A and B are shown apart, each in its own frame.
Chain A
Amino acid sequence: MINRVNPHLVDLTTVARSKAASMNKSKQKLVGLGILLLMLAGYTLLPPELQQLIQLQPDDATTSQNNSDGQRLNGQEGKSQQLDTNSKQQEAAKSAQTEPTVRSPTNADIENTAGSRAAKEFGQNTPATDDESRQKIGSSQRSPTAASKNSSGSDQPRGPPSNQGQRSQSSDNNRQSPDQTGTLVHGLLQEISKDQYLSPAGLIYGPGSAEGHRLDHLRRHVQNQPKRPGKHGVFDGGMQGALKTIDDAFRRAQKEQRTTKTIDRNRTIYTVDLGKRIGFVGGQDGGRRRNPMARRVRLVLEGKRVITAYPM
């Protein structure tokens, strides 16, 4: 009798145990729900850019192939990935709190991947598409004739010649001196020996002329001389503009493009039509004709050595 266990008591303990188990289960459920709610709250608190990044985790190829599939992925798998990333972020935050001096690799991964994705989406892809669209717009909107008109028309004279003089002077002031560039004179010429300067096209400017140097002689043709009898060709763009134009004329002359050529002993005289404004006609004659624009260059050479060059 003593050893006999009361069945009622047994029932009571089992009932209590089962109740405790059920309580534990409900607690676990509540804790799980709480965690889920916390994750959702964390997600909603995230900035919209990061939310988009988390949503765009599915493969871009599949999203580009089929948007509806992508939307489905965003709706189903996307959520699990969101949760995954959120948990990672929370873990990272926890580790950051516990180990403030050690950078969490998971966090770094997130930042790197997010950063690279952001760069792809906002930094790299956008300008490329913009450039492409600009090119497409440019090519579709501008016809070849319009382009050629623009290229030749933009340099056409506008306003009085005094403005052109100012324009050439200002560009002359902007030219790079030998000191600034270190090696190039007027931004173009390379000094190959004492007082000998080589242009990109292979022309040589050296000592000579009444001015003492061919470059000083050329300088006469970057400013008008209104009192000079006859015509006086003036280059646009100061010394640098003049040197570029002369090089351009020489290259065309070598290809015999719109060029007349006269050889007199060891001298070659080219007249090259550059097909666009390269200066204007000054001097007394030019002044009488309101300084018409010049499209041609007269180039007097001895071998590759420049004797003189001027617009006409």
Chain B
Amino acid sequence: MSPQHSIDFCPLCGGGLCGIRICGIQRDNVPEQDANASSASPHGLVVCDECDAIWLEPDLTTAHHYPDVEHAKCPVCLDALWGPNSRWANHDDLTRLQWDLAINPALDITEG
């Protein structure tokens, strides 16, 4: 459950990777009436994989958020942070989010 692409180590807990996460990925498959409930399109988050701290931009000097301990939600769409509507961003997601230049390739984790 580690991020594939990260921008840096967590300045708060010190041990986590601040990985890029894409949220709202199921919007295309959701029926219209449900889609109206949340108008958020796929959006990016920076999340520490140790302490769950969240940044809304790929810049760790901006304000961070702490989600609820047990029921962590995305600050943008309020969906479950770790639910099926979001995932650690892959390279295509980075391109889609236009955050591909923000990552530090040295922190990439290739599974397997």
A241 CA to B110 CA in the complex, in Å? Answer: 30
A123 at the interface (CB under 8 A from B): no
The answer to whether A230 touches B52 (Cβ under 8 A) is no
Partner of B15, one of A206, A264, A265, A312: A312
Query: With an 8 A cutoff between CB atoms, is A121 at the interface?
Result: no
Cβ 8 A contact of A300, one of B6, B50, B108: B50
Q: Is A252 on the interface with B (CB-CB < 8 A)?
A: no
> A229, B72: Cβ atoms under 8 Å?
no
- B1-30 interface with A by 8 A CB criterion: 1-2, 6, 9, 12-17
The docked-state distance in angstroms from the alpha carbon of A34 to that of B2 is 98
A residues near B72, Cβ cutoff 8 Å: 208
**Which of B1, B15, B16, B52 makes the CB contact (< 8 A) with A208?**
B52
Give Cα A38–Cα B63 distance, bound, in whole angstroms: 105
Is the Cβ of B1 less than 8 Å from the Cβ of A211?
yes
C-alpha spacing A269/B10, complex, angstroms: 13
Query: What secondary structure prevails in chain B residues at the interface with A?
Result: loop
With beta carbons under 8 angstroms apart, the residue of B14, B17, B107 that contacts A312 is B14
B93 within 8 A of A: no
The interface residues of chain B lying within 8 Å CB-to-CB of A206 are 69-70
Quick one: CB contact mask for B100-112 with A, threshold 8 Å, 1 for yes? 0000001111100
Binding-face segment, A25-33, A46-54, A303-311? A303-311
Tell me the A87-121 residues at the B interface (CB within 8 Å): none
Q: Closest chain A residue to B110 by CB distance?
A: A227
Q: How far is the CB of B1 from chain A (nearest CB, A)?
A: 4
The residues of A that contact B110 with a CB separation of less than 8 Å are: 227
Chain A residue contacts of B15, Cβ below 8 A = 230-233, 298, 308, 310, 312
Which of the residues A208, A212, A229 comes within 8 Å of B109, measured between beta carbons?
A229
Check A140 for interface membership: any CB of B closer than 8 A.
Answer: no
* A229 in contact with B69 (CB, 8 Å): no
Interfacial residues of chain A within 291-305, with CB under 8 A of chain B in the complex = 298, 300, 302, 305
Q: Count the A-B residue pairs with Cβ separation under 8 angstroms: how many?
A: 66
CA distance A298 to B84 in the complex (A): 30
A207 within 8 A of B: yes
A229 and B17 contact, Cβ closer than 8 Å, known pairs A209-B52, A302-B69, A308-B51: yes
Contacts of A258-277 to chain B: CB distance below 8 A: 264-267, 269
A229 CA to B109 CA, complexed, in Å: 7
Q: B90: shortest Cβ distance to chain A, in Å? A: 16
List the A residue with the shortest CB-CB distance to B15. Answer: A310
Picked from A231, A307, A310, the residue with its CB within 8 Å of the CB of B69 is A307
CB distance from B78 to the nearest CB of A (A): 17
Contact pattern, A 208-247, Cβ under 8 Å of B = 1, otherwise 0: 1111100000001000010111111100000000000000
Residues on B with beta carbons closer than 8 Å to the beta carbon of A269: 12-13
A208-B52, A220-B1, A312-B15 known, 17 other contacts, Cβ within 8 Å: A207-B70, A207-B71, A208-B70, A209-B82, A210-B82, A212-B82, A229-B106, A265-B66, A267-B66, A269-B12, A298-B14, A300-B51, A302-B66, A305-B69, A308-B16, A308-B51, A312-B14
Can you list 23 contacts pairing A with B, beta carbon distance less than 8 Å?
A207-B70, A208-B70, A209-B82, A220-B1, A227-B110, A228-B17, A228-B109, A229-B107, A232-B15, A233-B15, A269-B12, A269-B13, A298-B13, A298-B14, A302-B66, A302-B69, A307-B51, A307-B52, A308-B13, A310-B15, A310-B50, A312-B14, A312-B15
By a beta-carbon cutoff of 8 Å, the part of chain B in contact with chain A is 1-2, 6, 9, 12-17, 49-52, 66, 69-72, 82, 106-110
Ordered nearest first, which 9 A-B pairs have the shortest CB separation? A210-B1, A229-B107, A308-B50, A207-B70, A300-B51, A305-B69, A302-B69, A300-B13, A208-B70
